[in-house]
Amino acid sequence: MWVLRQRLSAALLRIIGITTTRKARGNAAEENLSNARRWAKILSLAVPGQPMPRLVCFALSARDRERVRSALREAERLIPAPPNLRVLAVGRRSGTFAKVSACIPPAGRGQFGKLWHGNSLAFYYRFQEPFLVVFYTRQNAYLRRNRNAFVGLLLHEMTHAVLDAQGVHRQLDRQFKAFVRRIDHLRHPRMETLYPVLADVGSIAKLALKELYMVAWLVQRGRGDYLLENYREVFPADRCPRPLFYRSRKSLQDPETFRLTFEFTLSMLAILLPLERLQSSAADEFLAHMEECYLVNLGEMIALFKPLRNLIRKRFSYGEGFQRAYFDAVFKAMRALIS
Ligand SMILES: [Zn+2]
């Protein structure tokens, strides 16, 4: 059971490969310049003497390179990518990391390394410029046989960059900080052990809201089918693990169970609620499959999150008012569970 939960958690992390944005520090112009030089140097390895290309491939066969190039062309036809977005397709992680991380300013390398070596099949990362989408072709076998799912994966990560460029991630960082300040004022007999878990719930909520925005943005633009195709590969219809996240409310006193239950519920809501708007039999089938095979034993959590679900269904927006209400709903659900 533990192993299953770990695996599921890993599967979720794989689809939520995103990270927070940080503001430029110090002399931004100078840093950006040396940053650009670093990139020019590393990228010129790929195309000597040429300006920074949109796509750089590492350790890919010629056929895979062509596959990636064509899927990216298709994704760029479907949504506008920020001009300073760079896409790195990585065939073999080892040996490549040193090259790529040399392009990241030292202060951003730690976080980048965590993502690179983590469970994600793909991730979006930004520390100053450029915006980066990284994905691994080896771990994504379906990329070879399901082009639409592959395009869906690219659209997913590119949309994080689009929303980041619009300043959405910065707003979310502000709301997250406000959430943590509210935790600071909570009184609870077990506060010392609870605090890190509650702060974790805040960052989980932030990541989930980034996912929600990404899915909703693509669905609103009529590109949800590609995303759905990708999710159908990640959660295939012939696998039904029916995970049990907790046995009783009491088991939520275990910090790890508490964190994992929140992570799973929030991530699921973030993906499934906006997909409800897709009107296709494939979407209906997928939602039914997720409900039957993943959202079991979460009845209590789902009930607890009813206000959050209603908020997302009825008052969804990219504005700070909605974001505040979203974090407030998460906070109230969390407080109800620890009281
Ligand atoms: Zn994501």
pLDDT digits (tens, 9 = 90+) for 252-281: 888 888 888 888 889 999 999 999 999 999
CA 24 to centroid of ligand 1, rounded, Å: 23
CA 124 to centroid of ligand 1, rounded, Å: 7
pLDDT score recorded for residue 52: 60
pLDDT score recorded for residue 217: 98
The identity of residue 6, as a single letter, is Q
Could you report the per-residue pLDDT of 163-215, keeping only the tens digit for each? 999 999 999 999 999 999 999 999 988 888 889 999 999 999 999 999 999 99
Sheet holding 131-136, edge to edge: 55-58, 85-90, 131-136, 122-126
pLDDT score recorded for residue 3: 43
CA 264 to centroid of ligand 1, rounded, Å: 14
CA 30 to centroid of ligand 1, rounded, Å: 31
Predicted confidence (pLDDT) at residue 18 exceeds the cutoff of 50: no
CA 14 to centroid of ligand 1, rounded, Å: 9
CA 17 to centroid of ligand 1, rounded, Å: 5
Predicted confidence (pLDDT) at residue 77 exceeds the cutoff of 50: yes
Which residues make Cβ contacts (< 8 Å) with residue 130, sequence separation at least 6?
Answer: 39, 52, 84, 85, 86
CA of residue 313 relative to chain centroid, distance: 20
Average pLDDT over residues 41-55: 58
**Minimum mean pLDDT among 12-21, 53-62, 77-86, 111-120: which range?**
12-21
Predicted confidence (pLDDT) at residue 31 exceeds the cutoff of 80: no
Which residues make Cβ contacts (< 8 Å) with residue 141, sequence separation at least 6?
Answer: none
Instruction: Band the pLDDT of 43: cuts 50, 70, 90.
Output: low
Choose among 111, 99, 118, 83: nearest CA to 39.
Answer: 99
pLDDT score recorded for residue 339: 78
Percentage of the chain with pLDDT > 70? 84
pLDDT score recorded for residue 258: 87
Could you report the per-residue pLDDT of 89-116, keeping only the tens digit for each? 998 877 788 888 877 788 888 988 999 8
Tokens of 66: 């062509």
Choose among 142, 164, 333, 154: nearest CA to 234.
Answer: 142
Residues bordering ligand 1, an ion, CB closer than 5 Å: 18
Tokens of 38: 């670093």
> Is 211 in contact with 266 (CB distance < 8 Å)?
no
CA 186 to centroid of ligand 1, rounded, Å: 31
Average pLDDT over residues 290-302: 78
Tokens of 46: 């790929």
pLDDT score recorded for residue 17: 41
Measured between alpha carbons, how far apart are the two ends of the chain, in Å?
27
Average pLDDT over residues 33-38: 56
pLDDT score recorded for residue 251: 79
CA 165 to centroid of ligand 1, rounded, Å: 15
Q: Report the alpha-carbon distance of residue 155 to residue 328 in Å, rounded.
A: 30
> The whole model's pTM is what?
0.85
- Residue 326: in which H helix or E strand, if any? helix 320-338
Q: What is the mean pLDDT of the chain?
A: 84
Predicted confidence (pLDDT) at residue 325 exceeds the cutoff of 50: yes
CA 87 to centroid of ligand 1, rounded, Å: 15
CA 326 to centroid of ligand 1, rounded, Å: 18
Instruction: Band the pLDDT of 47: cuts 50, 70, 90.
Output: very low
